[in-house]
Chain A
Amino acid sequence: MKSFSYHQPKDIREASNLLGDNWQDALLNAGGTDLLGLIKHDIEKPDHLVNLKAVKDLDKVRYQEGKGLSIGALVKLNDLAAMDIVQNKYTVLAEALQETASPQLRNMGTIGGNLCQRPRCWYFRGDFDCLRKGGELCFAADGENKYHCISGGGPCFIVHPSDPAVALLALDASVTIAGKDREYTVPLHDFFVLPEDDVMRENILQPHEIVTRIHVPDLPSNTRSGYIKFKERDVWDFAVVSVAAVLRMGSERIEGGTMAFGGVAPKPWMEKTINDALNRMEVTDTNLDSLAQIAFTDALPLAQNGYKIPLVRNLIKRVIRTLNA
C-alpha cells in the first residue's frame, strides 16, 4: 500500500477541488468497503484520499408522490433497503439491495460507492497488468473467463459488479453529478460506459466529479417489480447472472415494462428487443419461451461462459412467472 494524505472536506465544491483534474491523484472515499481493498492491494495508488463523510445532506432520502425517490449518494445500502417506501413501491431495488454483499458490507457501503465500485475481474484484482490497469493485454479474453461478460465486451470483458445498479436501470433512474463548476443529471443508462469507449473506466465521471444523488421516478400503481440474482453460493457472492424486472401488469397481460441484467455485460445491461416484446405480452408458457429465445441472440460468449445464455433466459422466464403469480 502506498502512503496517501487524507482530507475531510465540508462541502461538495471543496471535495471536488480536492479531487483535482488528474486521474489517480485523488480518490473519493465513501464507505471504503471497496476502496480500501483496492488501495491495500495496490490496484489504486492515490496520493490523496478525500472522505465524503462530512459533506452534508448526502445521506438523506426523499420521496415525493408523483416525483419519486431521491437518494443521497452516502445513504447506506442497508438503510435504503429497510425503508418502507423502497420495500413497498420499489421492490426490485429493495430485493437487489438485500442481495448485495453481506450484512456487514451493507452497513458500511453506500449507494454512491456501490454504483462507482470497480470491477471484480480476478485479473484486475490480481497481480496482472491488464488493459483496464493501463497494460497491453486482456488476460481474460483467452484465459479464465467463466465469470466474464457475454455481451458488450471487447477489448475488456468485465461484468459490472453492482446489483442495485441493475435494479435502478430497470427503474429508469438517473444520477446527479457535481463537479468543480457544474452540476448535471444523466440517465443511469448514459452513466456507465463500455470498454470500447473507455477501457479504463466504468462510468463517465471526470476526476473532479462526484455522484451526489440518485433519482428514481414514481411508478404507476399497477407496477410489479422484482430482482432475481443467481449466485454460486447463497450469500456473499456477486451475481453470476441477475435479472431485474419492472412490469406494469394489466388484468390479462403485461401492459409494458423493462428488464435489466447483471453479470452479463461490462455495464448494467438492457435489451431493447426484450422490452419491446414485453409490450402487451400475455404471460403464457409459449410466450415466455419465445421471449427467452429472442433474448441475448447477439451475445458472444467466451470459451468458458456460454452457460450464461441458458441461465439468463431461464431467469427471464422465472422472474416474469414470479411477478405474474
Chain B
Amino acid sequence: MASDKIIKSRFFFEDEVEEKLAEVPTEEPDSWQADEKLAKVGKPYSRIDGYDKVSGTARYAFDMHLPNMAQAKTLRCPLAHARIKGIDTRKAEKLSGVLAVLTHRNTPEIKWYGTSFLFDTHLRYEGDEVACVIAETESIAEQAIKLINVDYEELDHVVDAKEAMQDSAPKLYDSGNIRNGEPGTYSRGEVEKGFAQADTVIEDTYRTQIAIHNPTEVHCSVVNWDGDRLTVWDSTQGIFRVRDGVANSLNIPLNSVRVIKKYMGGGFGSKLEAGKYTVMAALAAKQIGRPVRITLDRKEMNLAVGNRPDSVQTLKGGVKKDGTLTALFHHSYGAIGAHPSNAQCSWPLKSMYKCDNVKVEEYSVYINAGRARPFRAPGHVQGFFALESLLDDLAEKINMDPLEFRLKNYADKDQVYNIPYTSKVLREAYQKGADAIGWQNRSEKPGSGRGPVKRGIGMSSQIWWGGGGPPAYATLKLNRDGTLRVIAGTQDIGTGTYTFMAQVAAEALELPMEKVEVILGDTAVAPYCGASGGSTTAPSVSPAVRNAAENMKAKLISGAAAHLEVPESQLTYQKGMVNHKTNTDKSIAIDQLVREMGEQVMVSIGKRGANPEGYMINTFGAQFADVQVDTETGKIRVNKIVAAHDIGRVLNVKTLENQMHGGVIQGLSFALMEERVIDRYTGKVVTFNMHDYKMPTIMDMPDIEMFIVSGGDPKISSTGVKGVGEPAMIPTPAAIANAVYNAIGVRIKQLPMTPDKVLNALYR
C-alpha cells in the first residue's frame, strides 16, 4: 500500500494563495485519462439528498429544535459610525421571558477581524453588533432589544471609497482608511515602453457596484453545551474554520467543539468563517445552561455578513494594428467596508491574455459599511467586466473581430509565474460558444439594428484557479453487508458534494450507487477537508475518495488472498467480488469477505495527492450573450447565454448544469440588477430587503446552453477534476456588457446596467 509524506501545499483558495502542511500519498492510482469513459462518474445522477430537500424532511441549521432551547437576537448599531458612551439593559432584562443580555460589559474581550472585538465600543458601521438578547421566544428577544437604551456618540462617517481616500475624510482607524497604507502593486516588463510600441491606446474607467450574497438560507447557529463540550449546528461553508474560530474565541480545546452542517441553502462566500453570532450564542448558552438558537433576519443579512466590494477601475490598453497587445495598465480602488478585506480585481488583466508589459496598482479602502467577504469569484467578476469592455473597444479601434483579437493574444502559458498550465482547452470553448450563439451573424456595426428594440451579441473569456489541492482526506468504511460509507470533513453547500462523492466511490469499487452512503459536515467524525470556497471542493476531495477506494480495493485483495490462501497477484477486483484470475472456484464476494474477517467494518483512508510541481492549474471558459435592448425604456433583456468551459473532468453533468445555471443567473443579476445602495448623508443602507435589493425572477431568465470542452486533466490528480462554481459566473456580466454595446453602440461603463443608466446614456 502507498506510503505517505508531508509537504507544504500551496494553491489558490478564492483569490489568495493558501499554504498548509498536508500529508499526501507518495503513490497514487493512475489518473483517469482525459477521454476515459467511466461508468458512474460524469453521469446525471439526481442528488442523493434531493428527496430530503424536496419533501421537507431535510433539517437545516435553521430547523434544529432542541428541548428547552432559547432564542437569541442581536442589537445592531443603527448609525454608520458611533461610539458607545453608555448602555442600559435593565429594562430589557426585566421583560418577562428574557434570559440574558450580553454586551461588551459582561463578556470577555474577544478579538475579532484583527481590528476589533466581539462587542466593540467603537462601532464602525450600521449593523455592527452592540448586544445580544436571549429569551424564551424570538419575539420576546426582539421586543427586549428595543428596550435596551444605548447612548451613542455619533461620529462622522464616510461611505464612499473615493471620499474615504482623501486626507480630510473621517478615519475608521488611526492608521488611515487605505488598507496597509498603500496600494497592492504588480508589474512585469516595461509598461511605458509597451504603450510606446502601440498603434492604438485606450484608457477608460469602469465601475462596479457593491453586491450582497443574500443566500436563500440566512446565517444561523444552534448551540448546545454538554458539560464543557460544545456542539454547533451551523449554516457554514467551512466546518473546520468554524470549529477553530469558535474554540479560539472561547479559549477552549478544539476537541471540545463539534460543528455539524448537513444541508445548506447557499453561502456564495458569505459563510466561510465563524460568525460573531455563533460565539454570542455559545456564551449565552453557557450562561443560561440551555441550548440557544440564533438567526439573522434579511435586514441583518444585507448589513452585516459580507458583500462584494465595489470597484472603480481605470484601465489602459495598448495594441498594435495586427492585434498584438503591447501593454496593460490597471489602477483601481474599492470599498472593503469597516474591517480588513480585499478589493483587488486585477487578476483577469494580469493573467488572461498574453501581454509582456503589465502594471497594476490597486487600493482596498475602509468605509463605514459592512465588511466585504469573498463573493463567488472575488475580483474576477469585476475585473473581467472592465478588461473585456476595454478589449472590445480596442478591437473595434483596430477593426478586428473581438474573438479573433482574443485568439491573437491567447496565452500559452501562465503569464504571472511564467510556467505551463496543466491543461488549457480554451480555443475549443471559443469555437463551440461562437457556433452556438451564431457569432457569424453578429452585426459588425454596433447600434445599427432597426426599430426601437435592438439586438446584440457579445462575449467574454474567463480564467480562474479551481485546481484545489491537499490537505483533503476521506475515510471509507465497508460494512459486513457490503454497503459502503464515505466520510469526509468537507460540506455540501448545495452544490452536490454528497452525490459526486458517492459516484466516485461507487465508480472505483464498481458498486451500485444505492450501496454508498456519504457522511459530511461533522468535525467530530470526519477527517479534515478545507472550506468550500474557491471552487476547490470537488478537485480537492474527489481524489481523496478515489484514493481511499483504491486502498480499500488493495485491502480486499489482501484479505481475500489470506482467506483463499492464494497469492495476491492471482486475484483481481471486480464489481464487489475478488476473483481468481484463472480458478473460478477461488472467488469471494466482499460482504462475505468482511464477515470472514470478523470485523463489523473495514476502514481505508484516502488522501488528496500533491499538485504537480512547476505547473499552474486554471479553469478556462468563454461565455457568449445574445441580448436585446429596448431603447425607448432602457431595458436590457438577455435572450441567451452560451457557456463553454474547460473545467477538467465532469463528475455529474446534472449538478454541473445546476452550478452553471446558478452562476450565469448570478452573473446576469450582477450585470443588470443587484446593487447595495447606501444613503450618503446618513451612511445607512436603503436596500435592506429583497424587494429593494433586486434579484431577477424566473421571468427574467435567459436560455442557457452549456458546453464542457474538457475531458479530464490527469496531471492534477487521480480524478482530473477542476472546479466550476466560480468560473460559471465570471464572464457573464462582461459578455452581457459587450452584447449591449453591440446592440446600441453606446458603452455602459457602470454596473448594474439598469434602465436609468441606459436611458441616460442614450438621451444625454
A binds B: yes
| Beta-carbon nearest neighbor of A143 in chain B | B679
30 CB < 8 A contacts A-B = A1-B142, A122-B687, A122-B692, A125-B689, A126-B686, A128-B682, A139-B682, A142-B681, A144-B679, A144-B686, A146-B756, A232-B635, A232-B673, A232-B754, A233-B673, A233-B694, A233-B696, A233-B697, A236-B697, A237-B694, A240-B755, A304-B756, A307-B634, A307-B756, A311-B632, A311-B634, A311-B755, A311-B759, A314-B632, A314-B633
| Beta-carbon nearest neighbor of B677 in chain A | A144
Q: Does B417 contact A (CB under 8 A)?
A: no
Are B681's CB and A143's CB within 8 A? Answer: yes
Are A307's CB and B632's CB within 8 A? Answer: no
Which chain B positions have C-beta within 8 A of A235? 697-699
| Beta-carbon nearest neighbor of A42 in chain B | B146
Task: Tell me the smallest distance from the CB of B668 to a CB of chain A, in Å.
Answer: 11
Which chain A positions have C-beta within 8 A of B689? 125
Are A234's CB and B759's CB within 8 A? Answer: no
| Beta-carbon nearest neighbor of B631 in chain A | A314
Which chain B positions have C-beta within 8 A of A252? none
Residue positions of B touching A, CB distance < 8 A: 78, 139, 142, 632-635, 673, 677-682, 684, 686-689, 691-692, 694, 696-700, 754-756, 759-760, 762-763
Binary interface encoding of chain A residues 1-44 relative to chain B, with 1 for a CB under 8 A from any of its CBs, else 0: 10000000000000000000000000000000000000000000
Task: Tell me the smallest distance from the CB of A43 to a CB of chain B, in Å.
Answer: 12
Which chain B positions have C-beta within 8 A of A230? 633, 635, 755
Are B684's CB and A127's CB within 8 A? Answer: yes
Which chain B positions have C-beta within 8 A of A307? 634, 755-756, 759-760, 763
Binary interface encoding of chain A residues 233-253 relative to chain B, with 1 for a CB under 8 A from any of its CBs, else 0: 111110010000000000000
Interface centre among B673, B696, B700, B756 (most CB of A within 10 A): B756
Identify which of B78, B678, B700, B760 contacts A233 (C-beta below 8 A): B700
Which chain A positions have C-beta within 8 A of B673? 232-233
Q: How far is the CA of A27 from the CA of B446 in the complex (A)?
A: 56
Q: What 9 A-B pairs are tightest by C-beta distance, nearest first?
A: A234-B699, A314-B632, A122-B686, A307-B759, A307-B756, A235-B699, A310-B763, A143-B679, A235-B697
Interface centre among A125, A126, A143, A240 (most CB of B within 10 A): A126
Q: How far is the CA of A144 from the CA of B756 in the complex (A)?
A: 13
Q: How far is the CA of A277 from the CA of B756 in the complex (A)?
A: 28
Are A128's CB and B684's CB within 8 A? Answer: yes
Q: How far is the CA of A126 from the CA of B688 in the complex (A)?
A: 8
Are A234's CB and B755's CB within 8 A? Answer: no
Which chain A positions have C-beta within 8 A of B686? 122-123, 126, 144
Q: Does A318 contact B (CB under 8 A)?
A: yes
Q: How far is the CA of A234 from the CA of B696 in the complex (A)?
A: 8
Q: How far is the CA of A236 from the CA of B678 in the complex (A)?
A: 23
List residues 99-140 of chain A with CB under 8 A from any CB of chain B: 120, 122-123, 125-128, 139
Are B697's CB and A234's CB within 8 A? Answer: yes
Task: Tell me the smallest distance from the CB of B368 to a CB of chain A, in Å.
Answer: 16
Identify which of B139, B142, B694 contacts A232 (C-beta below 8 A): B694
Task: Tell me the smallest distance from the CB of A239 to a CB of chain B, in Å.
Answer: 12
List residues 279-325 of chain A with CB under 8 A from any CB of chain B: 304-307, 310-311, 314-315, 317-318
Q: How far is the CA of A123 from the CA of B684 in the complex (A)?
A: 10
Q: How far is the CA of A174 from the CA of B760 in the complex (A)?
A: 38
Task: Tell me the smallest distance from the CB of A240 to a CB of chain B, in Å.
Answer: 7
Which chain A positions have C-beta within 8 A of B760? 306-307
Task: Tell me the smallest distance from the CB of A294 to a CB of chain B, in Å.
Answer: 17
Are A139's CB and B759's CB within 8 A? Answer: no
| Beta-carbon nearest neighbor of A122 in chain B | B686
Binary interface encoding of chain A residues 176-205 relative to chain B, with 1 for a CB under 8 A from any of its CBs, else 0: 000000000000000000000000000000
Q: How far is the CA of A235 from the CA of B175 in the complex (A)?
A: 47
Which chain B positions have C-beta within 8 A of A120? 691
| Beta-carbon nearest neighbor of B761 in chain A | A307
Are A233's CB and B679's CB within 8 A? Answer: no
